[in-house]
Amino acid sequence: MMKSIWALMVFGFLAGGSHACAQTQPTVSGEWVGNIEVQGTSQFATLSVSGDTGTLAMPLANFSTKLTSIRVEGIQVVCEFEQIKSALKGKISGDEFAGKATGPGPSGTFHLIRAQKLAPDALAAFQGAYRFPDGKFVLIDVMYGVPGILTMTDSATGDVRAIFPRTDRQFFSGPALFITSPVTTTLTFEKKGDRVVGLSFRSGTRARRAKRIPHSQQPVRFQNGDVTLAGTLLLPESNRSKHAGVVFTHGGGAAKREFVWGLGYQLAARGMAVLIYDKRGVGESKGNWGEASFEDLADDAVAGAKFLQSNSAIDPKRIGFWGLSQGGWIAPLAASRFPEAAFAVAVSGGALTPAVTELFDTEYELQKAGFNAEDVQKALAFQSLKNEIIRSFEKWEQYLSMRNTVKDTPWYRVQGIDIRGPDKQDHPQWAHMRRSYFYDPAPALKSLRGPLLVIHGELDTPKGVAASVEAIKSSMTAAGKRETSITGNPGKDGFVVKVYPRGVHNLMEAPEPEKSSWIRSKRFVPGLFEEMVDWMVRQ
């Protein structure tokens, strides 16, 4: 979705290469955040101006450009871009800069709000879990993959927003995750000396205060064979002598350590130690994730669990694993290879082979994109042939012929689906896919010694979710495990499968309409954080 939005933006008013805009007026100098709308599609944008230089960026599209020229036409400020006759024309009124985005393609609108830029260390000071008097939490965390932006997540309602600083203590957010206007919520952080100790939270006429739950974070390193992994250990500050622990496993790709929308902070606030780490070959970790099998990645997590066992603050018999997406396969596999595993949590993955899962995903995404049944079946036939090539090059000539036939079709170019393959037999992508695509999770699931929690969002490919649920139940019951509810106590031989209505892959609730960009998302599925954390703490 992000790439399709960017394609429209490029065609509409940022087509070509670099573009820029600059403003020498003192009223526009500083930091701005907001949205550019073109033909109903919104893109999150930031504008940074200092004197006669600056940068326009669209962080979620991984795009930025230097600002170049500015002029004032009456009461309007006109920002122009390089190479192409496009402009942002608007008025600055107080802390808002809004107007029209024009160019050779479709015109649009923009609305930016003045913000303040804070250093990473300053932002890090706010991260953590804050508890309201009713025992519920608001979680402040860094936005993964978007440096310099914090998010807040209400653990009870699931409401989630990016938050932006007005001052060194006060932040604001808008009506959706990355929609900033109109401002709907203000957070003011409270300090005692240099420590952040709480926050006041105002939304509309409702005001609440929350106390920050103390924790400590330690940089750590541990070994899996000759691979050194670098991470962060989050420890609760409590009087308990021995904490339970959990190792977070990664999603696909080059994943760095993260506490996942503040989930790690909530677990620490409930008394659990949390270990996160950079995937092998990413950040400060050594190795190469592109050459790793699922077993290799699971053994990295097992090495993390053994590292926790060596810590005197952690109970060596109460350590579990948590994973989202690819981590939905890795967490149970790690638990099956760690005899003392207390539990495993698999979110949005883990029951079918990745190859089968990706076929369900392609079918659903093409249907949502409006392709007819014939096109969808052609796409699935090609993807199935590509999967055969992953196993063996026996049908290579047939694959090349079909690839040349379909590579210019609209469905082949749809982003976010796993339909494309290289045109060379020696391309490293084939070897990378071969290491994981046909991993069968059933043996690991059947051999688990502790309880398992499997979570899906209903709209994460509905047919795929139904097939996954059936496969999980089949594997677990065949191994003599018993199904329980997420609010119950499964014991060592129990398992839970929870499907949340309207949840998508990352367990956010699908925005309305469903095809809308994820930046318009407003919340995680209600109950997710509370139920998931309660279940892990009970183990």
Task: Indicate the SS3 state at residue 285.
Answer: coil
d(CA 140, CA 26): 32
Task: Indicate the SS3 state at residue 484.
Answer: coil
Residues 106/38, Cβ–Cβ less than 8 Å: yes
Strand partners, 345: 322, 453
Strand order in the sheet with 494-500: 215-224, 227-236, 272-277, 243-248, 314-324, 341-347, 452-457, 494-500, 482-483
pLDDT confidence of residue 165: 97
Q: How far is CA 100 from CA 106, 176, 281, 348, 419, in A?
A: 11, 22, 44, 40, 38
End-to-end, the C-alpha distance of the chain in Å comes to 38
Q: pLDDT tens digits for the chain (539 residues)? A: 333 333 333 333 333 333 344 444 447 788 999 999 988 889 899 999 887 778 888 899 888 877 777 777 777 777 676 645 667 888 988 899 999 987 667 889 999 999 999 999 999 999 999 999 999 999 999 998 788 899 999 999 999 999 999 999 999 999 999 999 999 999 999 999 989 999 999 988 889 999 999 999 999 999 999 999 999 999 998 767 799 999 999 999 999 999 999 999 999 999 999 999 999 999 999 999 999 999 999 999 999 999 999 999 999 999 999 999 999 999 999 999 999 999 999 999 989 999 999 999 999 999 999 999 999 999 999 999 999 999 999 999 999 999 999 999 999 999 889 999 999 999 999 999 999 999 999 999 999 999 999 999 999 999 999 999 999 999 999 999 999 999 988 888 899 999 999 999 999 999 876 666 789 999 999 999 999 999 999 98
d(CA 473, CA 89): 58
Residues 465/350, Cβ–Cβ less than 8 Å: no
d(CA 469, CA 474): 9
Sign of CA dihedral 418, 420, 425, 426: negative
d(CA 276, CA 220): 9
pLDDT confidence of residue 347: 98
Nearest to 355 by CA among 295, 431, 440, 293: 440
State phi, psi for 12 to the nearest 5 degrees. Answer: -75, -55
pLDDT confidence of residue 371: 96
**What's the residue count for the chain?**
539
Residues 36/45, Cβ–Cβ less than 8 Å: yes
Residues 381/405, Cβ–Cβ less than 8 Å: no
Are β-strands 206-212 and 128-131 bridged in parallel, bridged antiparallel, or unpaired?
Answer: antiparallel
Determine the distance from the C-alpha atom of residue 33 to the mean position of all C-alpha atoms in its chain, rounded to a whole number: 20
Nearest to 326 by CA among 360, 294, 287: 294
H helix or E strand, kind and range, residue 92:
strand 87-93
Give the contacts of 431 (CB within 8 A, at least 6 positions apart): 291
d(CA 467, CA 377): 19
pLDDT confidence of residue 263: 97
d(CA 461, CA 500): 13
Q: What pTM was estimated for this model as a whole?
A: 0.91
Task: Indicate the SS3 state at residue 125.
Answer: coil
What's the token pair of residue 337?
């290879």
d(CA 492, CA 488): 12
CB burial of 450-459 (b: ≥16 within 10 Å; e: otherwise) equals bbbbbbbbbb
Residues 354/391, Cβ–Cβ less than 8 Å: no
Q: How far is CA 482 from CA 320, 345, 472, 486, 492, in A?
A: 19, 16, 12, 13, 10
Nearest to 355 by CA among 329, 321, 322: 329
pLDDT confidence of residue 398: 97
